[in-house]
Amino acid sequence: MCVLCNTTLESEVHLFWECSFARALWFQSPWSFHTAALQFDNFEQMFTWFGSFDDHNLLYHTACVMEEIWRSRNDMTFNNSPPDPNASHRRIMRRFSEFYLVKECESIRDTQYTDECLSNFDAIFMTDASVVDQWAGLAFVQIGDAAESFHGQDCCHVISVLQAELEAILLALKAASVKKFSKIQIISDNAIAIQALKVRELPFAWGSFPVFRQCVEMFKVREEEQEGDRPSSGPSFLKKISKLRSEGKQV
């Protein structure tokens, strides 16, 4: 049973979209979503619909709403703390403002950089992971034309947040390999994972080393394939990082 409304069995679509608590938060958003007017058969369909928008502010706000719904659900489940739509809305807007201010400060540079990236790579992916009780939810989404983009999600047992972030990156790498992309870029918010993959070393996180090694091995395999295809050394499967940003770290 959904702990936020106590009226329906909990499912992903119900929790994040159909629940009365979720409906209140979506309606209070700057876009005033009427959830009753749009039905989804499953969470993947809902995720794909939001991913089809090229409005970064909408995507940021969507992430904030989902984060708050999950937080409220866990507070009620584990701490018996009743949900408060007004307090949740304030937290969402505060969190969204943080994203917005960072984005505004870098808007010109980011727009130019994104346009340049989209023309220089076969694909650009954003990855993320969320860990609860040593279980990680993994996801990646391709940035660009919604008609050509795709995404993936998975879950696995992990021992650290770093391992979860690396698992998400590996998930994107495997998908890119299946698609036969030769030159991609992956954006992650985990600076440690990015730095480790950049220098191909992970000295102080042995529990995360196996998945780290798999990522590195995929780099090597793709680089060898490219060297066999062309006389000169081609671009690496995952371009070396040019810089790190406070909001999005890039490999």
pLDDT for position 227: 53
The rounded average pLDDT for each run of 10 residues, N- to C-terminus, in the chain (251 residues) is 92 94 91 86 89 84 92 93 92 79 49 56 85 87 66 87 91 90 84 82 71 82 53 41 41 54
Residues forming a β-bridge with 128: 139
pLDDT for position 212: 85
Asked whether residue 4 is domain-assigned, the answer is: no
Same domain membership, residue 101 and residue 76? yes
pLDDT for position 14: 94
Same domain membership, residue 210 and residue 146? yes
- DSSP, collapsed to helix, strand or coil, labels residue 146 as coil
pTM check: above 0.85: no
Angle between helices 56-79 and 85-105 in degrees, nearest 10: 140
Same domain membership, residue 220 and residue 150? yes
Asked whether residue 3 is domain-assigned, the answer is: no
Same domain membership, residue 193 and residue 83? no
Same domain membership, residue 124 and residue 85? no
Whether 139 contacts 151, CB under 8 Å: yes
pLDDT for position 113: 47
Same domain membership, residue 126 and residue 232? yes
Same domain membership, residue 126 and residue 82? no
Whether 141 contacts 172, CB under 8 Å: no
- DSSP, collapsed to helix, strand or coil, labels residue 167 as helix
Same domain membership, residue 133 and residue 98? no
pLDDT for position 108: 38
Asked whether residue 111 is domain-assigned, the answer is: no
The structural domain count of the chain equals 2
Asked whether residue 115 is domain-assigned, the answer is: no
Whether 237 contacts 219, CB under 8 Å: yes
CATH number (domain holding residue 207) = 3.30.420.10
Task: For tokens 């993994």, name the residue.
Answer: 138
Asked whether residue 209 is domain-assigned, the answer is: yes
Of 162, 168, 148, 227, nearest in space to 195 by CA: 162
Same domain membership, residue 124 and residue 101? no
Asked whether residue 110 is domain-assigned, the answer is: no
The gap between the terminal CA atoms of the chain, to the nearest Å, is 41
- DSSP, collapsed to helix, strand or coil, labels residue 86 as helix
Q: What is the separation of C-alpha 231 from the centre of its chain, rounded to a whole number of angstroms?
A: 37
Q: Both tokens of residue 204?
A: 């102080």
Same domain membership, residue 51 and residue 156? no
Q: Both tokens of residue 196?
A: 């480790």
Same domain membership, residue 38 and residue 97? yes
In the chain, the largest separation of any two C-alpha atoms, in whole Å, equals 65
Asked whether residue 6 is domain-assigned, the answer is: no
Provide the domain limits for residue 160. 120-250
Same domain membership, residue 244 and residue 127? yes
Asked whether residue 142 is domain-assigned, the answer is: yes
pLDDT for position 223: 55
